A and B are shown apart, each in its own frame.
Chain A
Amino acid sequence: MHRNFEYYIGPNHPGIAGNFSIKVEANGDTVLNVEPEFGYLHRAFEKLMEDNLYIQNIAMVPRICVPDPDINEYCYCSAIERIAKKEVPERARFIRTLVLELSRIAAYLSYFGGIGGTIGLYTAPQWSVGDRDYILDLFEDLTGGRVYHIYMVPGGVRRDLPEGFEEKVLKVMDYIEERFKEYDDLIFGNKVFEKRTKGVGILTKEKAIELGATGPVLRASGYSYDVRKDNPYAAYNKVDFNVITAEDGDTYSRIMVRRREIEESIKIVRQVIDKMPEGEYKNQWYNPFKFDIPEGRVYVKIESSKGEYGYYFVSNGSDKPYRVNVRGASFPHIVTVFKELTKGARIEDIALILFSIDACPPEVDR
């Protein structure tokens, strides 16, 4: 008979993606309950947005999520366009799709690095962070920024594709595709990886829907739902790709769904470049310092690398947004799904389970 113990993990811990802490109640090494605690990354973005002009916020929103920042730019710009009822040129829609998919690949690469780190395969983070840099190089070429791009603006994108950019993208895609054969040998086919992840932290389909899981977590439980397919935005209705699902709902499925999704993302990038239309890249109907946005409200949602990401946007007709509420994909994942998955798990699996749902605390704190 063991006594129950309470452990405090975080706020800085190699097994945690970002700054937040977990109170763990355990008996022996069996977890009885976890209580996540937030607030370490609160920067009051939502309040600041209400005080800033529309144009000032464009440089601020990508900072909400570090590994996958472009989703914020897209949601913010799309919300303004939809309230103002303005069209985006076809070419800009394709460029945005390209940027979003490159960002997804970069986010997944750093995700695989995290997975490798938590189970002791330390070559994985070295490789994936190095390969991610090739995508950051592309972003630097396109936007001037490596991590935060501040590239999308209401009405389109800031500037056109530079000369020879398409060839560079295709070259990097070929490289990453080739590289994933080695990743399969190193990580995904590794016996240690399989032993640590199979059957750990199982989430059934019914439970996933009840708890509000979205994105790869939901798809790994066998439910085929992808915002890109079901409520298409940008140019996703013009490209052909598969929605990847898995049946088991365990940690292994959640990781492998992302592993196979990276192939679909590469497919999308190739199609986007192949079908890239000629024409304008921006429709600037506004004066940058005084946006003329009518009253209205809209909920914009997109598929981020972590799940459904959304902005609830309210305008009252002034030159500042009246209310912006960010729906982080990780919010239900950390708050409810994580609690469910760790019930009865072992202490050493906490970090792995947390990584498998790709928890991003800045999306919760904002």
Chain B
Amino acid sequence: MKDIIKRIKEKLDVSELEKIQDDEYRIVVKLENIYESLVLLKREGFEHLSLISATDWIKDNKFELVYILYSYKDKTILLVSIFIDRRIAKGKTIKELWPVAATYEREIYEMFGIEFEGNDDKRPFILEGWKGMPPMRKDFDLNKYANKKFNRRKYA
């Protein structure tokens, strides 16, 4: 295991640590610690935020938010996961740490309906005039929506 990962394990309250590949690791932290954890990770060299991604684990009634970080110094990818309650669907913004995070959060709010405390940007991002359930949630039925929205074309 790389030194940097050992250091992170000592300093952070990590509930799960997984090695995906030689240069790729995944940790799970708690929702209330996410901002402090990312501040610390940024100081440890994870300067680059590649992506914020969300996954809908509908069976466990949870959303997973993944912050994909990269350290130029150690050439390591780190996936930082947090789990949040699906009914509450509230995270914390990290737009002060990385400016691009504000837009990733705006997209996740639109696609999953996850709000980010401290990020008030709720303007539509990609969808236009969208009403109803956010489309990337697992209980959104794509076929049902398409049949309702578009007329079936009749072929002779």
A complexed with B: yes
Set of chain A residues within 8 Å of B128, measured between Cβ atoms: 39
Max chain B C-beta neighbours (<10 A), residue from A211, A296, A325? A325
Q: Does A323 contact B (CB under 8 A)?
A: yes
Known: A312-B53, A322-B55. A336 touches B99 (CB 8 A): yes
Which residues 92-134 in B have Cβ within 8 Å of A in the complex?
98-100, 103-104, 124-128
Please, how many angstroms separate the alpha-carbon atoms of A214 and B66 in the complex? 20
Please, how many angstroms separate the alpha-carbon atoms of A13 and B125 in the complex? 20
Nearest chain A CB to B135's CB is how many angstroms away?
6
Q: By the criterion CB–CB under 8 Å, are A314 and B55 in contact? A: yes
Q: By the criterion CB–CB under 8 Å, are B100 and A301 in contact? A: no
Q: By the criterion CB–CB under 8 Å, are A325 and B51 in contact? A: yes
Known: A308-B50, A322-B55. A210 touches B99 (CB 8 A): yes
Q: By the criterion CB–CB under 8 Å, are A212 and B100 in contact? A: yes
Q: By the criterion CB–CB under 8 Å, are B136 and A365 in contact? A: no
Q: By the criterion CB–CB under 8 Å, are B77 and A301 in contact? A: yes
Set of chain A residues within 8 Å of B47, measured between Cβ atoms: 209
Q: By the criterion CB–CB under 8 Å, are B100 and A332 in contact? A: yes
Q: By the criterion CB–CB under 8 Å, are A312 and B125 in contact? A: no
Nearest chain A CB to B39's CB is how many angstroms away?
15
Please, how many angstroms separate the alpha-carbon atoms of A325 and B51 in the complex? 9
Q: Does B8 contact A (CB under 8 A)?
A: no
Q: Does A42 contact B (CB under 8 A)?
A: yes
Set of chain B residues within 8 Å of A210, measured between Cβ atoms: 98-99
Nearest chain A CB to B47's CB is how many angstroms away?
6
Which residues 20-63 in B have Cβ within 8 Å of A in the complex?
20-21, 23-24, 26, 47-51, 53, 55-56
Known: A82-B21, A211-B99. A299 touches B50 (CB 8 A): yes
Q: Does A193 contact B (CB under 8 A)?
A: no
Contact partner of B68 (CB less than 8 A), chosen from A50, A214, A299, is A299
Contact partner of B126 (CB less than 8 A), chosen from A42, A296, A312, is A42
Please, how many angstroms separate the alpha-carbon atoms of A308 and B48 in the complex? 11
Nearest-CB residue, chain B, relative to A223: B72
Q: Does A297 contact B (CB under 8 A)?
A: yes
Q: By the criterion CB–CB under 8 Å, are A225 and B49 in contact? A: no
Set of chain B residues within 8 Å of A297, measured between Cβ atoms: 20, 26, 79
Which residues 70-88 in B have Cβ within 8 Å of A in the complex?
72, 75, 77, 79
Please, how many angstroms separate the alpha-carbon atoms of A46 and B112 in the complex? 13
Q: Does A327 contact B (CB under 8 A)?
A: yes
Which residues 29-75 in A have Cβ within 8 Å of B in the complex?
38-39, 42, 44, 46-48, 50-51
Q: Does B156 contact A (CB under 8 A)?
A: no
Max chain A C-beta neighbours (<10 A), residue from B98, B125, B126, B135? B126
Nearest chain B CB to A40's CB is how many angstroms away?
9
Which residues 188-211 in A have Cβ within 8 Å of B in the complex?
209-211
Please, how many angstroms separate the alpha-carbon atoms of A210 and B47 in the complex? 8
Q: Does B1 contact A (CB under 8 A)?
A: no
Q: How large is the interface on B (under 10, 10 to 19, 20 to 34, 35 or more residues)?
A: 20 to 34
Q: By the criterion CB–CB under 8 Å, are A299 and B77 in contact? A: yes
Max chain B C-beta neighbours (<10 A), residue from A223, A312, A331? A312
Contact partner of B48 (CB less than 8 A), chosen from A38, A209, A325, A336, is A209
Q: By the criterion CB–CB under 8 Å, are A39 and B77 in contact? A: no
Q: By the criterion CB–CB under 8 Å, are B126 and A212 in contact? A: no
Please, how many angstroms separate the alpha-carbon atoms of A42 and B139 in the complex? 21
Q: By the criterion CB–CB under 8 Å, are B127 and A42 in contact? A: yes
Q: By the criterion CB–CB under 8 Å, are B100 and A335 in contact? A: yes
Set of chain B residues within 8 Å of A322, measured between Cβ atoms: 55
Max chain A C-beta neighbours (<10 A), residue from B24, B79, B100? B100
Nearest-CB residue, chain B, relative to A328: B51
Nearest-CB residue, chain A, relative to B21: A82
Q: Does A310 contact B (CB under 8 A)?
A: yes
Known: A299-B50, A314-B55, A336-B100. A38 touches B136 (CB 8 A): no
Max chain B C-beta neighbours (<10 A), residue from A299, A331, A336? A299
Set of chain A residues within 8 Å of B79, measured between Cβ atoms: 297, 299
Nearest-CB residue, chain A, relative to B81: A297
Known: A42-B127, A44-B135. A327 touches B142 (CB 8 A): no
Set of chain A residues within 8 Å of B138, measured between Cβ atoms: 50
Q: Does A298 contact B (CB under 8 A)?
A: yes
Nearest chain B CB to A24's CB is how many angstroms away?
17
Q: By the criterion CB–CB under 8 Å, are A301 and B26 in contact? A: no
Q: Does A242 contact B (CB under 8 A)?
A: no
Q: By the criterion CB–CB under 8 Å, are A298 and B53 in contact? A: no
Please, how many angstroms separate the alpha-carbon atoms of A187 and B103 in the complex? 36
Known: A39-B128, A223-B72. 16 other contacts (CB 8 A): A38-B125, A44-B135, A47-B135, A209-B48, A212-B48, A212-B98, A225-B72, A231-B75, A299-B20, A301-B50, A310-B51, A312-B66, A327-B50, A327-B68, A336-B103, A365-B126
